[in-house]
Chains A and B, each alone.
Chain A
Amino acid sequence: NAGVMQNPRHLVRRRGQEARLRCSPMKGHSHVYWYRQLPEEGLKFMVYLQKENIIDESGMPKERFSAEFPKEGPSILRIQQVVRGDSAAYFCASSPPSRGSTDTQYFGPGTRLTVL
């Protein structure tokens, strides 16, 4: 029973390059969330997606960041023209189809992005 999978675990990019982070939710889960953790801080919500739909992207920076969860394949968080301030740990979480208001989110191991 595989958990949430993220790859790569570590990603190094130079300023101006693009970063693509992938997330495969737990089997049977259809909701995906992305969070970012800066050093010495808690996790900050970025975006919530269901298959082919962005439900809530209120935590996403307005520029350079985008996310998708296609019908087939993993969810992708894309950061264009990365800057040093994008260096952080990016966590994906998933939850099952909603049966109520108390869905627990299960987290992947994270992708640590370093921008040189």
Chain B
Amino acid sequence: DQQVKQNSPSLSVQEGRISILNCDYTNSMFDYFLWYKKYPAEGPTFLISISSIKDKNEDGRFTVFLNKSAKHLSLHIVPSQPGDSAVYFCAPRSSGTYKYIFGTGTRLKVLA
């Protein structure tokens, strides 16, 4: 039973354009959502987060949008850069627990 789904295993975007990575979840108890970026042979690196009391959080080129009614969040990267090429995981957490539930990831490739 997959509680977190990232339905696009891969995405290619031209440098300078917008990258949109999507994440759907089923557990309405999730109240905190993180995005991690992972390069090969490295651990995940925290990118940006959003609490369930918000619907948008922005940090430089990265913006996360949360639609609680649709149980959907998305990560926007604009403008995309070749160094953004990595695997991106969304990782929500339930209220009162420390357990992050990771999606299967989306491999982003930004073409120069």
B34 within 8 A of A: yes
If A4-B43, A102-B49 touch, whether A43 touches B89 (CB-CB below 8 Å) is yes
Q: Which residues of chain B are within 8 angstroms of A59 by Cβ–Cβ distance?
A: 99
Contact A55 B49 (CB under 8 A): no
Most buried by B among A33, A59, A107: A107
Interface string of B45-75 (1 = CB under 8 A from A): 1100101000000000000000000000000
Out of B51, B98, B100, B101, name the residue touching A31 (CB < 8 Å).
Answer: B98
Q: Which residues of chain B are within 8 angstroms of A43 by Cβ–Cβ distance?
A: 44, 89, 91, 100, 102
If A43-B89, A56-B99 touch, whether A102 touches B46 (CB-CB below 8 Å) is no
If A43-B89, A106-B46, A107-B45 touch, whether A48 touches B98 (CB-CB below 8 Å) is yes
The 3 closest A-B pairs by CB, nearest first: A42-B102, A107-B43, A43-B102
Binding site for A on B (CB under 8 A): 4, 31-32, 34, 36, 41-46, 49, 51, 89, 91, 95-105
